[in-house]
């Protein structure tokens, strides 16, 4: 009797975890370029083994983690991945309509007596100490939770219809200004196709609604775009050897990087975001924009790959293609090239949360700081700092850089890197990157180095 063996296809099989609350690991491996259909282990293309063929078993591997098959989209584009969102949407078209046919029930599994159920190990058994006072991610894992969150989000049809991603509030943490469904899509707890169909069902009932790229459907298509480009671009997760990545001579300053990673930059908006990331494993996308810009082209001029690794390790929704794609975008290394548009580590957060409630929650050391100083505590008089029980330089760190000065230096460095970059020649080698770095260093030898000033401040 012939039968079919189904093996799920996942391009996001970079890390295997049980759910949003699971331990976090780090990996920067890239997807296989030989086939989009990966085995269930994500290690090699699936091919029917001889014993399956002999037994009359047909092995097939459907693309189920995405709306579209990236390989098909790339084939439509002449074998090259589309490098703009608009061209991708035009090429991809609409995803296939969900099947409505019903299936018979599977036969019973048989006698399972004699199998012992294993208990879930306690936290202490896993080597952790007393965590009773720790703040953990409020997002539970699993399909049941995913469907519950989806249902709750779709109940507000007006919110779904009028959703515009750029207008979200990054400081909203008690009730996030988005669906927070990304972790569930990442782990396969929620089907992207089911989500897409549910959104279109809502759109049919409300009539007028927002459109891609800012709508909720548009966010799913961004996911598809990055999956497709990542699948079709060798070395997508690095600068060297990546033909679509600008070759920028990023600085190597471990001290500044660690200060950013640990939330000790002296900028409360940036530090609060990094603490939320560490504790929750999640933050709003505009908060991610803020800290990514600050690390790279905005203030510290540190390599986007280092920030990518931190997000990969800590984010519960970390997805290899999307994480790398966003870091390429936000560092102006690819996709987006308006490097003069910089997120202010002071005014951007203040626009959404003038009272600083977000900062007070994640940085309790600043909870008593008056709101006029909460985003710039170094400007508070010493008497105010004492009253707030927060002395700058003692209880909370001094700024590692002066934003106005650092951002100007970063703009100059980006302009020089762009001028020297040979991306158009399809050359992306280590030699070119080193050459760019030497040229920039030579050009800056005649003027004071902002990097040297930064090192002095952080010590």
Residue 299, marked binder: no
Residue 457, marked binder: no
Token pair 């230096």 is at which residue? 409
C-beta separation of 4 from 57 below 8 A: yes
- Give the Cα separation of 337 and 327 in Å (integer): 13
Residue 223, marked binder: yes
Residue 226, marked binder: yes
Residue 247, marked binder: no
Residue 383, marked binder: no
Residue 182, marked binder: yes
- Give the Cα separation of 96 and 92 in Å (integer): 11
Q: Pick left, alpha or beta for residue 188 (phi over 0 → left; psi -120 to 50 → alpha; otherwise beta).
A: left
* Cβ-Cβ contacts under 8 Å for 192 (sequence gap 6 or more): 65, 66, 67, 185, 220, 223
- What's the per-residue H, E or C state across the chain? CCEEEECCECCCCCCCCCCCCCCCCCCCCCCCCCCCCECCCCCCECCCCHHHHHCCEEEECCECCCCCCHHHHHHHCCCCCCCCHHHHHHHHCCCCCCCCCCCCCCCCCCCCCCCCCCCCCCCHHHCCCCCCCCCCCCCCCCHHHHHHHHHHHHHCHHHHHHCCHHHCCCCCCCCCCCCCCHHHHHHCCCCHHHHHHHHHHHHHHHCCCCCCCCCHHHHHHHHHHHHHHHHHCCCCCCCCCCCCCCCCCCECCHHHHHHHHCCCCCCHHHHHHHHHHHHHCCCCHHHHHHHHHHHHHHCCCECHHHHHHHHHHHCCCCCHHHHHHHHHHHCCCCCCCCCCCCCCCCHHHHHHCCCCHHHHHHCHHHCCCCCCCCCCHHHCCHHHHHHCCCCECCCECCCCCCHHHHHHHHHHHHHHHHHHCCHHHCCCCHHHHHHHHHHHHHHHCCCCCHHHHHHHHHC
Residue 25, marked binder: no
Residue 181, marked binder: yes
CA 182 to chain centre: 10
Largest CA distance in the chain: 84
Token pair 């961004």 is at which residue? 222
Residue 64, marked binder: no
Residue 144, marked binder: no
Residue 271, marked binder: no
Residue 318, marked binder: yes
Residue 319, marked binder: yes
Q: What residue numbers does the annotated binding site for FAD cover?
A: 178-182, 219-226, 317-319
Q: What residue numbers does the annotated binding site cover?
A: 178-182, 219-226, 317-319
């Amino acid at each position: 009797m012939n039968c079919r063996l189904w093996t799920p296809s996942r391009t996001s099989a970079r890390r295997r975890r049980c759910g949003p609350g699971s331990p976090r690991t780090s990996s920067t491996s890239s997807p296989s370029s030989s086939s989009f259909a990966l085995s269930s282990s994500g290690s090699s293309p699936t091919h029917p083994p001889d014993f399956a063929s002999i037994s009359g078993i047909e092995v097939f591997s459907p693309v189920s983690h995405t709306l579209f098959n990236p390989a098909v989209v790339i084939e439509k584009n002449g074998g090259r991945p589309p490098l703009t969102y608009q061209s991708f949407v035009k090429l991809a078209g609409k995803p296939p309509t969900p099947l409505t046919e019903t299936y018979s029930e599977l036969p019973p599994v048989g006698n399972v007596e004699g199998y012992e159920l294993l208990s879930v190990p306690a936290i202490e058994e896993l080597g952790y100490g007393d965590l009773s006072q720790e703040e953990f991610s409020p997002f539970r894992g699993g399909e049941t939770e995913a469907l519950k969150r989806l249902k709750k989000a779709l109940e507000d049809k007006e919110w779904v219809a009028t959703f515009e991603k750029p207008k979200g509030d990054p400081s909203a943490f008690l009730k996030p200004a988005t669906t927070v469904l990304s972790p569930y899509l990442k782990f396969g707890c929620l089907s992207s196709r089911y989500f897409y169909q549910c959104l279109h069902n809502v759109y049919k009932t409300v009539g007028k609604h927002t459109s891609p790229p800012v709508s909720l459907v548009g966010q799913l298509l961004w996911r598809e775009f990055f999956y497709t480009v990542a699948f079709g671009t060798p070395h997508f997760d690095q600068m060297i050897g990546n033909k679509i990545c600008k070759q920028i001579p990023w600085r190597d300053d471990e001290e500044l990087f660690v200060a950013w990673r640990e939330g000790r930059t002296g900028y409360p908006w940036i530090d609060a975001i990094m603490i939320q990331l560490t504790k929750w494993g999640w933050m709003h996308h505009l908060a991610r924009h803020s800290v990514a810009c600050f690390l790279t082209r905005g203030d510290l001029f540190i390599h986007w790959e280092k920030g990518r690794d931190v997000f990969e390790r800590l984010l519960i929704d970390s997805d290899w293609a999307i994480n790398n794609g966003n870091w390429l975008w936000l560092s102006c290394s690819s996709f987006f090239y308006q490097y003069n548009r910089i997120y202010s580590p002071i005014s951007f957060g203040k626009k959404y949360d003038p009272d600083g409630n977000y900062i007070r929650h994640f940085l309790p050391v600043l909870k008593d700081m008056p709101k006029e100083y909460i985003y710039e505590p170094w400007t508070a008089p010493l008497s105010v700092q004492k009253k707030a029980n927060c002395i700058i330089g003692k209880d909370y760190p001094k700024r590692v850089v002066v934003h106005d000065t650092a951002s100007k230096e970063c703009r100059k460095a980006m302009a020089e890197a762009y001028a020297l970059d040979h991306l158009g020649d399809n050359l992306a080698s280590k030699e070119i990157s080193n050459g760019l770095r030497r040229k920039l260093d030579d050009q800056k030898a005649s003027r004071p180095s902002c990097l040297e000033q930064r090192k002095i401040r952080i010590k």
